[in-house]
A and B are shown apart, each in its own frame.
Chain A
Amino acid sequence: MTAVRFDRVTVAYEGADRPALRDVDLVIPEGELVLVVGETGCGKSTLLRCINGLVPHFTGGAMTGRVLVAGRDTRTHPPRELADVVGMVGQDPIAGFVAEVVEDELAYGMECLGVPADTMRRRVEETLDLLGLADLRARPLATLSGGQRQRVAIGAALTSHPRILVLDEPTSALDPGAAEEVLAALQRLVHDLGMTVVLAEHRLERVVQYADQVLVVADGRVQVGEPAAMMAGAPVAPPVVELGRLAGWQPLPLSVRDARRAATGLRARLRALPAPVADPLPVPAVVSGPAAVEARGITAGYPRVPVLRRVGLAAGPGEVLALMGRNGAGKSTLLAVLAGVRAPEAGTVRVGGHDPLALSGRALISTVGLVPQEPADLLYATSVQRELAEADDTADAAPGTAARLLAALAPGIDPSAHPRDSSEGQRLALALAVVLAAAPPVLLLDEPTRGLDYGAKRRLVGLLRQLQAAGHTIVLATHDVELVAEVATRVAVLADGEVVADGAAGDVVRGSPLFAPQVAKILAPEPWLTVGEVERALAVPG
């Protein structure tokens, strides 16, 4: 049975120089988990929104061809008339919440569809159990953590019993544990209930093993195939696939489990080799000097619920310190305190010997720079060009400094474009260029890889290494274990507002089932973290 059929679909938005989707022919059979991948801005979201009729009914634009969803033509059925067959979960769950508490939110869709009261009651209970939300049923939505919110949003789409569930980056904002919870729930839906799931995701390492089909969108065109076949030729792939390609495993493993089975020989070979050369640059000798960032006894948050409890941290020049921990553990608060945008209730902060709260203007930005979770917050000019010029101006840098930084980070951005119109990766690059124009010796990054595709991520890793080599101190809060394995020299794990682990990146990460990168999981107990390390080790003759 066919769940979704695209018939020569072309979508063009007004004012765009080329169509967002071009001649897409596609059949999604019932009961499959389909993974949609592609660079940001390639038309992924448009493809997803075609399935429930938001394109073209809500977004506008010209659409030719037709999309059939469970036999209904989206040209004649607006999203609300498809709500009983398609469940849609957007990128930012909190923006789509209508009710105040979990239970009411779960019931909202059913109320709109006119489901009888007793059926609603039963389905809400089933959904609460299915997604492990029973303890949260009466909680106000605003008090939930990111992972809980995402599960509520999925549950809210599920209660209407749609045959097709569409999700746009369901795990991009989640910590590894919460992401696993969500993916496990999705897999249960597909396996136990025969639901069709279509999801877009950048973090392939998290989802590719669950997919029945992979749909690659590039420049508005779509290619479909089996995951292993698509991954073998893909320009970017999760570490497990890259390791498989390096070792020449056939068939190409997609999950850590399959890779471990194939890796017996590789492990034996690596055991004979000398210990891995750390992929992140070793910390230069300057590190023994005074700490560039030092926090002592920081308590911050709300009076009743302290987010941070007497946290102490220090990082020297040339160090890349990764803050990890589940959603809501206090990582963002700590960065805000270090950057001097938030006053702690107790404790002292020293950045380059100064209290950042006492600094302002040029003195502040040339001491410490913070790129917040939503990089667009930093941008308010009407064009990229003006944004860059203003950054040079406030930083008192030579004209063109910020523009040069941007060109190195993300080449090919139209200088006359509005910052809000650019993709997530481009906005991050722009915000970074703006912050770096003042050349702060301490750089703080909050979730820098959220919403980034592999290409943008690779450029970010390159830039961070350059900055590190130049003696900058970098503190980043992230859920991305692969990024940590690539760049971090030290990892601090926060839980409930306290530092529960602090040490060399390899030691902290290797020992944790949640924070270990894929390569470490495949090659354990051997101490390798990234594909790059393995590649270099194997390249050495002998």
Chain B
Amino acid sequence: MALPTTARPGTLAPVGAGAPGTAPGTAPAPPGRGRSRLPRALHPVAWWAWALGLMVAAARTTNPLLLGTILGVLALVVAARRPDAPWAGAFAAALRLGAVVVVARTLLQLLLGPPIGIGVAFRLPELALPDWMAGIRLGGIVTWESLYVGLCEGLRLAVMIACAGAANALSAPSRLLRSVPAALYELGVAVVVALTFAPHLLDDARRVRAARRLRGHEEGRLRGFARASGPVLDGALERSIQLAAAMDSRGYGRAGTTTVGERRVQAGLVLAGFAGVLVGLYGLFDASAPRWLGWPLLAAGALVALLGLRAAGRRSTRTAYRPDPWRLPEWATAASGVLVAVAFATATWSDLAVAVTPLAWPAAAVLPLATVLLAAGPAVWTPPLPALGRWPA
């Protein structure tokens, strides 16, 4: 046991023969195919770039063939590279949520949407609305066309949700946190803690419901829920406070060498930059937005954010344990996602929007399909996952 108890953080223990600079993780990886196939987890940013790329593509099309292909690609990659961990269920959960969204979107279209086309499918009782709601229609004629449009629009939303689910299943949100720049780290932790709050709340709710049964209270779900919400929230709050105390005790939020003023300027730069990036992304997603809102704002925002992050990162005292390496498979995975996104955002393929009038079987040209299929590559070229060992024990 060679643990020097008096060593301050930051000092290296005397190592007999070891030469400095040969520590694992710091040496540059020699390039080569063999090395990239060692089992390891892919960099979470690569997965997110890939998934967001597919999400952009899905947002740009309503063609069910293309959407279905994207969904297939997602499922294939998740099946191939999903870790055996609790958060890996995120993809299945996203699919279930997607199914609900498709149904809801279609119903909305049928009830509220303007009538499209001529093929009357059936007739719903129409609700007479007062004059001041003139533009809105409730019920009435339902056409095959509007049914089809509703389904396609719903499918598009569902596929976008599935993209987020796939990213979550492939890498835990807290792993992504490790790649968050130092300047945003504390913000990131708050977000992740908030994200893990919901599952805990569900657990608590289940426990309290069982306890109410033990107390002999038998009431409807809704009433029971209302009466149980007190203890559930109490418990969740208590746990959050415990977590905060534990994090404080372990050095979270230690002041580095930065002054308050410096921190504010850096945070301002970063936030402004990210606002620019967000608006830019909106411009890209929304085909009707002005062109200058897209790429230029995205690039400018990214630049400002990077400047702020670099300034803050230089002063931060945080270090990262075993940072995920960024090697060829990461480049390839992120690139495949970006490529699909760029192709769908800029190309003028006619098959992206589905043909409604006249109603026709959707068609997709080879080029868009092939682009989407490219994003299935990570199922093959990413390294296999390390074994976790048997669990639960």
Residues on A lying within 8 angstroms of B by beta carbon are: 52, 54, 57-58, 78-81, 83-84, 86-88, 90, 92, 95-101, 103-104, 107-124, 126, 130, 135-136, 138-140, 142-145, 148, 156-157, 160-161, 163, 188, 192-195, 305, 328, 336, 339-342, 360-362, 364-365, 369-370, 372, 374, 376-380, 391, 394-395, 420, 434-435, 438
A135 closest partner in B (C-beta):
B389
A-B contacts counted at CB < 8 A amount to: 233
Do the beta carbons of A194 and B5 come within 8 Å of each other? yes
Task: A495 to B9: give the CA distance in the assembly, Å.
Answer: 43
Q: In the complex, A434→B214 CA distance in Å? A: 10
What is the chain A residue whose CB lies nearest that of B7?
A: A161
Interface of A is mostly: helix
Known: A98-B246, A115-B10, A143-B391. 8 other contacts (CB 8 A): A79-B249, A95-B242, A112-B250, A112-B254, A113-B254, A119-B13, A122-B23, A160-B250
Most buried by B among A83, A336, A380: A380
Interface positions of B from 81 to 113, Cβ below 8 Å from A: 85-87
The verdict on B228 contacting chain A, using a C-beta distance below 8 Å, is yes
A103 to B175, CA, bound (A): 12
Q: For residues 1 through 33 of chain B, which have their beta carbon under 8 Å from a beta carbon of chain A? A: 1-10, 12-13, 23-26
Indicate whether A118 sits within 8 Å of B26 (C-beta atoms), given known contacts A109-B250, A140-B391, A305-B392: yes
9 closest cross-chain pairs (CB), A and B: A118-B23, A96-B246, A83-B251, A107-B321, A112-B251, A114-B317, A365-B216, A95-B242, A377-B211
| A376-B231 contact, Cβ under 8 Å, with A116-B10, A140-B391 | yes
- In the complex where A121-B24, A195-B5 touch, is A372 in contact with B248 (Cβ < 8 A)? no
A362 and B276 CA atoms in complex are apart in Å by 61
What are 26 residue pairs bridging A and B, where the CB atoms are less than 8 Å apart in the complex?
A: A80-B252, A84-B9, A92-B242, A96-B243, A96-B245, A98-B243, A98-B250, A98-B252, A99-B174, A104-B321, A112-B253, A113-B317, A114-B9, A118-B26, A121-B321, A139-B389, A160-B250, A161-B7, A192-B1, A193-B1, A360-B218, A365-B216, A369-B214, A372-B207, A372-B211, A377-B210
Q: In chain B, what residue has the closest Cβ to A161?
A: B7
- In the bound complex, residues from chain A placing their C-beta under 8 Å from that of B189 are 98
Name the residue in B87, B189, B246 with the highest tally of chain A Cβ atoms < 10 Å from its Cβ.
B246
Residue numbers in B under 8 Å from A378 (CB-CB): 211, 214-215
Q: Is the CB of B246 within 8 A of A118?
A: no
Q: Which of A100, A145, A341 contacts B175 (CB 8 A)?
A: A100
The reply to whether A108 and B250 form a contact with Cβ atoms under 8 Å apart is yes
Chain B positions within 8 Å of A161 at CB level: 3-5, 7, 9
Residues of B within 8 A of A83 (CB): 249-251, 254
For A52, list chain B residues within 8 Å (CB).
Answer: 249
Specify which of B8, B216, B227 is in contact with A364 (CB 8 Å cutoff). Answer: B216
Min CB–CB distance B213 → chain A (angstroms): 6
Knowing A161-B3, A193-B3 are in contact, say whether A58-B245 is a contact too (CB < 8 A). yes
Given the complex of chains A and B, what is the CA–CA distance between A118 and B321 in angstroms?
A: 8
Question: When chains A and B are docked, how far (Å) is the Cα of A160 from the Cα of B251?
Answer: 10
Cross-chain contact A143 with B86 (CB below 8 angstroms): yes
Decide: B249 and A117 in contact? CB cutoff 8 A: no
CA distance in complex: A475, B127 (Å): 62
Of the residues A54, A122, A394, contact of B249 by C-beta under 8 Å: A54
Take A130-B1, A194-B5, A420-B234 as given contacts and tell me if A114 and B319 are in contact as well, using a CB distance cutoff of 8 Å: yes
Establish whether residues A90 and B245, one from each chain, have CB atoms under 8 Å apart when the complex forms: yes
B residues in contact with A57, CB < 8 Å: 248
With both chains docked as a complex, state the minimum distance between the C-beta of A375 and any C-beta of chain B, in angstroms.
10
**Quick one: which of B6, B217, B245 contacts A163, CB cutoff 8 A?**
B6
Which B-chain residue is minimally distant from A108 (CB atoms)? B250
A95 and B246 within 8 A (CB): yes
C-alpha spacing A52/B250, complex, angstroms: 10
Query: B213's contact among A113, A114, A360, by CB below 8 Å, is which?
Result: A360
Which residues of chain B in 249-263 are interfacial with respect to chain A, using CB atoms and an 8 Å cutoff? Answer: 249-256
A152 to B257 Cα, complex, angstroms:
31
Docked complex Cα distance between A380 and B242 (Å) = 21
Say how far A536's CB is from chain B's closest CB, in angstroms.
Answer: 38
C-alpha gap A188/B3 in the complex (Å)? 12
Most buried by B among A54, A83, A145: A83
Q: Report chain A residues within 8 Å CB of B2.
A: 126
Q: Report whether B251 and A139 are in contact in the complex, using a CB–CB cutoff of 8 Å.
A: no
A115 touches B319 (CB 8 A): yes
Knowing A108-B250, A109-B250, A114-B9, say if A140 contacts B86 (CB, 8 Å): yes
On chain A, the residues within 8 Å of B253 by CB distance are 80, 112
Establish whether residues A336 and B210, one from each chain, have CB atoms under 8 Å apart when the complex forms.
Answer: yes
CA A117 to CA B324, docked complex, whole Å = 12
Q: Are A361 and B218 in contact (CB under 8 A)?
A: yes
Whether B391 contacts A79 by the Cβ 8 Å rule is no
A365, B210: Cβ atoms closer than 8 Å: no
Residues of B within 8 A of A342 (CB): 210
Docked Cα-Cα span, A382 to B243, in Å, equals 25
Interface membership of B323, Cβ < 8 A: yes
Which residues of B have CB within 8 Å of A438? 216
Residues of B within 8 A of A339 (CB): 214
Q: Which residues of A contact B207 (CB under 8 A)?
A: 372, 374, 377
Nearest CB of A to B47, in Å: 15
User: Which chain A residues border B248 with CB–CB below 8 Å?
Assistant: 54, 57-58, 78-80
Q: Are B25 and A112 in contact (CB under 8 A)?
A: no
A-facing mask of B54-98, CB < 8 A → 1, else 0?
000000000000000000000000000000011100000000000
Q: Is the CB of A394 within 8 A of B251?
A: no
Contact A80 B322 (CB under 8 A): no
| Residue B393 lies at the interface, judged by CB distance under 8 Å to chain A | yes
Which residues of chain A are near B231, meaning CB under 8 Å? Answer: 376-377, 379-380
| A142-B86 contact given A80-B251, A112-B254, A148-B393, CB 8 Å threshold | yes
| Chain B nearest CB, measured from A64 CB (Å) | 22
Cα-based distance from A377 to B238 in the complex (angstroms): 13
Contacts of A116 in B (CB 8 A): 10, 12, 319
| Structural contact, A341 and B26, CB atoms closer than 8 A | no
Most A CB contacts (10 A, CB to CB) among B178, B216, B256, B388 go to: B216
Quick one: given A83-B251, A104-B321, are A90 and B23 in contact (CB under 8 Å)? no
Question: Can you name the residue of chain A whose Cβ is closest to the Cβ of B323?
Answer: A117
Closest residue of chain B to A136, judged by CB?
B389
Give residues 229-245 of B contacting A (CB, 8 Å).
230-231, 234-235, 239, 242-245
Residue numbers in B under 8 Å from A370 (CB-CB): 214
Separation of A78 and B255 alpha carbons in the complex (Å): 11
